[in-house]
Amino acid sequence: MSRVARAQCANCTCSPGLLSRANRKSSLFAKKINLNRINSGLKDPNSTSRKGSVFTLNPQSLCLPEAKEVNTTQRLLKLRNEMKKEDVAVYIVPSEDQHQSEYTSAYDQKRSFISGFSGSAGVAIITRELNSIAEEEQGTAALSTDGRYFTQAVDELDFNWILLKQGAKDEPTWEEWTVKQAVQLSLDSGQTAKIGVDPKLITFEQVAKFKKLIDGAKKKSPKAAVELTPVARNLVDGIWEEFETLPPSTRGEIKHLDIAFTGKSAKDKIEQVRKETFKKDDGDDVKGLIVTSLDEIAWLLNLRGSDIQYNPVFYSYVILTDEKLKFYVDKERLAPEIINDLESIGVTIEPYNDFYNALNTVSKEFSVYGHKFSISNNANWEVVRNLKCPYSEGGLSPIELLKSQKNEVELQGAKVAHLKDGRALIKFLAWLEDLMTKQEDIIDEVTADEKLLEFRKQEDNFVGLSFDTISASGANGAVIHYKPIKGVASMINPNKIYLNDSGSQFLEGTTDTTRTVHFNQPSSEQIRNYTLVLKGNIALSTLKFPEGTTGNLIDSIARQYLWKNGLDYGHGTSHGVGAYLNVHEGPIGIGPRPNAAKNKLQVGNLISNEPGFYKEGHYGIRLENVMFVKQSDYSFNGKRFLEFETVTKVPFCRKLIDVCLLTDDELNWLNRYHASIWKELNGTLEKNSVAYKWLRKETEPISRY
């Protein structure tokens, strides 16, 4: 990776000049930098290690490019050659694996490989001109992603790509764009333009949507011949090793999660799912359920794995009937006692790679007896292609709905997990503030993340992180899903806002917390915008709402104060959170998108509360708590009202709060919240420690006077 000149480093958060000009402790920082320049105190002139040296800044690592840009020219050329072999005009590369996982293992990150875009959400579309006379295959490439990743995509995509801003005004959906390209390719060439996709990587629901769009396009352009075709051979896999070593498999040991953490046995869960799926009075002859989502299988069988980083899941499938449960997984990954336990409750273990053939065989038997399978909307196209019997589109899997409503054991686990994680975050924020203001030292974003992980590892039953930590200083905080990279991360500037969005996996539960802080003197604009975001967080935290309410109906509660000032944020307000499972969990959420309107909030739902504000090129603000839905004391006309209980235990930044903008009710809530944190955690911190003093300072009652 080439270096950039200091002059290129726009809004640089690691520039010695910036630190010298802006920081009241500038002389100390400048001296440290200058001493490093002459290599004083360093054992190895090329080392960036802090060990053995009192000096923390190495100017050799100050200004490296923040974005990793991959030149995709040859990759696209090779891919178009493969497309030609399959007679494909357009090829779709989704982000998901065959289980439609949001986060995938390195082996399944085909879209990242072909596009260079590393965000977790998006789809790549590559076209091939059918009538090209050039020696090399020509075409267009587009990457579609949502508002969380616009800035990141602009930074990471090279000149071969155009960005489709999903959800932006007047921007087509990626499906519409794809069909339009195919229509034009067909009209230009007079040939059939085939849109190819690996059928394991796209849902059958998306396929139905595509076919409807294609039919509509044909009516408008009768001369165009367009069709969607499954390409069984994944074309990206066919070229990957020409450029990079294919990532190794991550399939490790699968472990049992004790009922002390799950609150319900696998046997009871299976029976509950059968009861929900095979209802005798529904008039629908459904006798089987196909489960492809990894977190659903992990929840159902009380098992956890590590096949996908940060998500304690494992590659598997389940075929459930009213009498049998077939579990498709590599058997050698299970300890003998787990195998015995599963077999004792009627689970038959089959090889993972046998799933599609088995589905074909079982569904033929179903067809003979007139039985149906139930499949959820996130089942992949290959599942439907292998079904030889009728199927019922169940919408959501019954497992997903049951999993989203945490039982009392799981909710208590969430409280314990957030108490532990809160303590780690308090230690970290106290340490970081002390480092910046008292020790007059600075570190980069990755080093800060590593220190936070160190504090988390001190907690019992800590398993790992729940996602990549967003440790962002200054303008990096405006990149909603920013990921600092070791060696090229920015220094944390004490004169700029610092945003930390991070979470843990504990046996008791999954955490996700975002705090935004300032170590020096924030601007009046930053204080105002932080307070507007805080008001939105409090408004949602304290909301009471009737049963049957969906997340789209209350999204504006969190946005109202930003809207009043002509501001907004480009992501949802809330997502579901798993119980020692995926940090992003369906089906409920709070936001403006259609999926938030599909499912009502129910008692036991564990969700985030994360309004924000982002000023591109300057700073980002996000305040995220996790809370769960419970019954309130109110009812009206026989309908109960629900409310939220917050489980996150980390103070908000006093320095960024304008008390004058808070109502009495908001101020009282804030003081009660801070008092609860002090009460629950002060006794667990060493008296007179940096963390103890910081917590006392940050949780003292806030007064208007």
**In this predicted structure, what is the pLDDT of residue 164?**
95
The distance of Cα 300 from the centroid of its chain, to the nearest Å, equals: 22
Cis amide bond preceding 484, omega within 30:
no
What pLDDT, on the 0 to 100 scale, is given for residue 44? 41
Which position has the higher pLDDT, 43 or 554? 554
- Residue 659 has a CB neighbour count (10 Å cut-off) of 14
Q: Does 633 lie in the same domain as 532?
A: yes
**Least confident among 124-138, 192-206, 529-543, 575-589:** 124-138
For 177-204, what is the mean pLDDT?
96
Q: Tell me what the mean pLDDT of segment 68-85 comes to.
A: 90
Is residue 472 domain-resident? yes
Least confident of 370-374, 501-505, 632-636, 637-641: 370-374
- Beta carbons within 8 Å of 353's beta carbon, 6+ residues apart: none
Give pLDDT tens digits for 474-492.
999 999 889 898 988 999 9
**Is 131 a residue whose pLDDT tops 90?**
no
Q: What is the pLDDT of residue 201?
A: 96
Angle formed at CA 662 by CA 676 and CA 539, multiple of 5 degrees? 65
Confidence of residue 251 (pLDDT cuts 50, 70, 90): confident
pLDDT band at residue 6 under the 50/70/90 scheme: very low
State CA 541 to chain mean position distance: 22
Rounded to whole angstroms, the Cα distance separating 314 from 505 reads 15
Beta-ladder partners of 326: 319, 348
Q: What CATH number corresponds to the domain at position 104?
A: 3.40.350.10
Report the chain's terminal Cα–Cα distance, integer Å. 54
Do 219 and 285 share a structural domain? Answer: no
| Averaged confidence pLDDT in the chain | 89
Q: What is the average per-residue pLDDT within 442-469?
A: 97
Residues 649, 580 within the same domain: yes
- Are both 157 and 306 inside the same structural domain? no
Q: Do the domain assignments include residue 66? A: no
Looking at residues 196-201, what average pLDDT do you find?
Answer: 97
Question: HSE-up of 439 (CA within 13 Å, CB side)?
Answer: 14
Report d(CA 391, CA 533) in Å as an integer. 46
What is the mean predicted confidence (pLDDT) over 299-324? 96
Same domain, 397 and 446: no
550 in a domain, yes or no? yes
Alpha helices (runs of H) in 313-407, residue ranges in sequence order: 336-344, 355-369, 381-386, 398-404
Does the pLDDT at position 599 exceed 60?
yes
pTM of the model: 0.87
In this structure, the answer to whether residues 111 and 229 fall within a common structural domain is yes
Question: Using N-to-C axis directions, what is the helix angle for 551-564 and 524-541, rounded to 10°?
Answer: 150
Residue 475, classed as helix, strand or coil, is helix
* Cis, bond preceding 351 (omega within 30 deg of 0): no
Asked, for residue 556, whether it belongs to a domain, the answer is: yes
Q: Clarify whether residues 463 and 352 are in a common domain.
A: no
Structural domain containing residue 87: 73-240
pLDDT per residue as tens digits for the range 107-130: 899 999 999 999 889 999 999 999
Residue 460, pLDDT above cutoff 60: yes
Give the CA distances from residue 299 to residues 103, 373, 425, in Å, rounded to whole numbers and listed in that order. Answer: 17, 21, 28
**Whether 574 and 546 share a structural domain:** yes
Provide Rg for the chain, Cα atoms.
27
pLDDT tens readout for residues 390-439 = 888 767 899 999 999 999 999 999 999 999 999 999 999 999 999 999 99
Please tell me the predicted confidence (pLDDT) of residue 135.
Answer: 78
Query: Is residue 347 one of the residues assigned to a domain?
Result: yes
Residue 74 confidence (pLDDT) = 95
Query: At residue 203, does pLDDT exceed 80?
Result: yes
Residue 66 pLDDT greater than 50, yes or no: no
Structural domains of the chain, count: 4
Whether residue 105 is contained in a domain is answered as yes
Q: Last residue of some domain: 184, 207, 240?
A: 240
Residue 2 vs residue 656, higher pLDDT: 656
Same domain, 398 and 414: no
Residues 355 and 428 grouped into a single domain: no
Domain limit, last residue, from 404, 424, 441: 404
Please indicate, yes or no, if residue 249 is contained in any of the structural domains.
no
pLDDT value of position 562: 98
What's the confidence (pLDDT) of residue 4?
31
Residue 390 lies in a domain: yes
Q: Are residues 231 and 339 in the same domain?
A: no
Give the Cα separation of 30 and 581 in Å (integer): 46
Instruction: Please check whether residues 14 and 134 belong to one and the same domain.
Output: no
Question: Residue 586 pLDDT more than 60?
Answer: yes
What angle, rounded to 10 degrees, do the helices at 690-699 and 664-681 form? 160
Residue 43's pLDDT band (boundaries 50, 70, 90)?
very low
From 383, 404, 425, the end of a domain falls on 404
Interval 148-174 mean pLDDT: 91
The arithmetic mean of pLDDT across residues 658-673, rounded, is 98
Query: Which CATH number does the domain housing residue 547 bear?
Result: 3.90.230.10
Tell me how far apart the alpha carbons of residues 364 and 371 are, in angstroms, rounded to a whole number: 10
